[in-house]
């Protein structure tokens, strides 16, 4: 097939392909952060809310902080019901198309972090003499876009540390969640984690 004809056929297929909305915002979601690096959402899956076929435009990570079930419908119509425990870390590649519907009376809850851009930024701050942020444990997730840590909080909040990478810290407690964004190069004292609160650190590569 000639190059021009091949291009015209490709363009015709693209124009005929349906477009899908992003997963958020939708019913049951609240925006927590929106900046140049991330979109962060507090997400629930209410039972009975109509499922919407959507496409994930960004790589996405996050943490489920309240257990529950949902029914996932693939683009081909295949359905499966999945039960997710609290504490599970999410990783999803950009481009996935599906629909999700709450399947438990007590809704599944998560904080989802959409990673803007097509790949790692390579942004690492190495300035100053202050030691970099570190957690003496194995990361919960470590790939080319993000490193995720369970952060128990420091015994002493007075020593300062430096964040070498842009970082999202998610605090969850029962059925509530909040998130903060810490820019690469930030130097500060460690933040205490209140009793009954879980802190999860997402370092953005």
> So what's the pLDDT on residue 111?
98
Using omega within 30 degrees of 0 as the cis cutoff, is the peptide bond preceding 33 cis? no
What is the percentage of the chain residues whose pLDDT exceeds 90? 82
> So what's the pLDDT on residue 197?
96
What predicted TM-score, i.e. pTM, was given to this entire model?
0.89
> So what's the pLDDT on residue 154?
80
> So what's the pLDDT on residue 191?
84
Give residues with Cβ within 8 angstroms of 24, minimum separation 6.
31, 39, 41, 43, 112, 114
Q: Is the pLDDT of residue 75 over 80?
A: yes
110 or 11, greater pLDDT: 110
Concatenating the DSSP letter of every residue in 76-128 gives: TS-EEEEEE-TTPEEEE-TT-EEEEEE-SSS--EEEEEEE-SSS--------S
> So what's the pLDDT on residue 4?
53
| Angstrom distance (rounded) from CA 140 to CA 59 | 17
> So what's the pLDDT on residue 140?
98
Extents of the domains making up the chain:
19-115, 141-204
> So what's the pLDDT on residue 156?
77
> So what's the pLDDT on residue 107?
97
What is the percentage of the chain residues whose pLDDT exceeds 70? 92
> So what's the pLDDT on residue 71?
97
> So what's the pLDDT on residue 201?
98
At 8, the pLDDT band (50, 70, 90 cuts) reads very low
> So what's the pLDDT on residue 92?
98
Q: Is the pLDDT of residue 9 over 90?
A: no
Residue 32 in tokens: 């927590």
Could you tell me the CA-to-CA distances from 95 to 119, 124, 204 in Å, in that order?
Answer: 14, 27, 20
Fold of 19-115: Jelly Rolls (2.60.120)
């Amino acid at each position: 097939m000639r190059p021009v004809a091949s291009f015209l056929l490709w363009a015709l297929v693209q124009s005929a392909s349906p477009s899908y909305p992003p997963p958020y915002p939708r019913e049951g979601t609240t925006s927590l952060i929106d900046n140049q690096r991330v979109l962060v959402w507090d997400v629930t899956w209410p039972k009975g809310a109509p499922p919407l076929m959507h496409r994930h435009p960004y790589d996405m990570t996050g943490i489920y902080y309240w257990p529950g079930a949902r029914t996932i419908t693939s683009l081909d119509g295949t359905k499966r019901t999945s039960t997710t425990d609290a504490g599970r870390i999410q990783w999803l590649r950009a481009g996935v198309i599906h629909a999700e519907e709450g399947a438990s009376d007590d809704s599944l809850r998560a904080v989802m972090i959409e990673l803007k851009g097509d790949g790692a930024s390579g942004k690492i701050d190495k300035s100053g003499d202050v030691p970099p942020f570190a957690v003496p444990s194995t990361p919960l997730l470590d790939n080319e876009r993000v490193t995720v840590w369970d952060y128990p909080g420091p015994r002493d909040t007075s020593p300062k540390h430096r964040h070498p990478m842009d970082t999202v810290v998610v605090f969850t407690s029962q059925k509530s969640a909040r998130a903060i964004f810490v820019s690469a190069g930030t130097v500060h004292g460690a933040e205490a984690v209140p009793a009954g609160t879980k802190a999860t650190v997402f370092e953005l590569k």
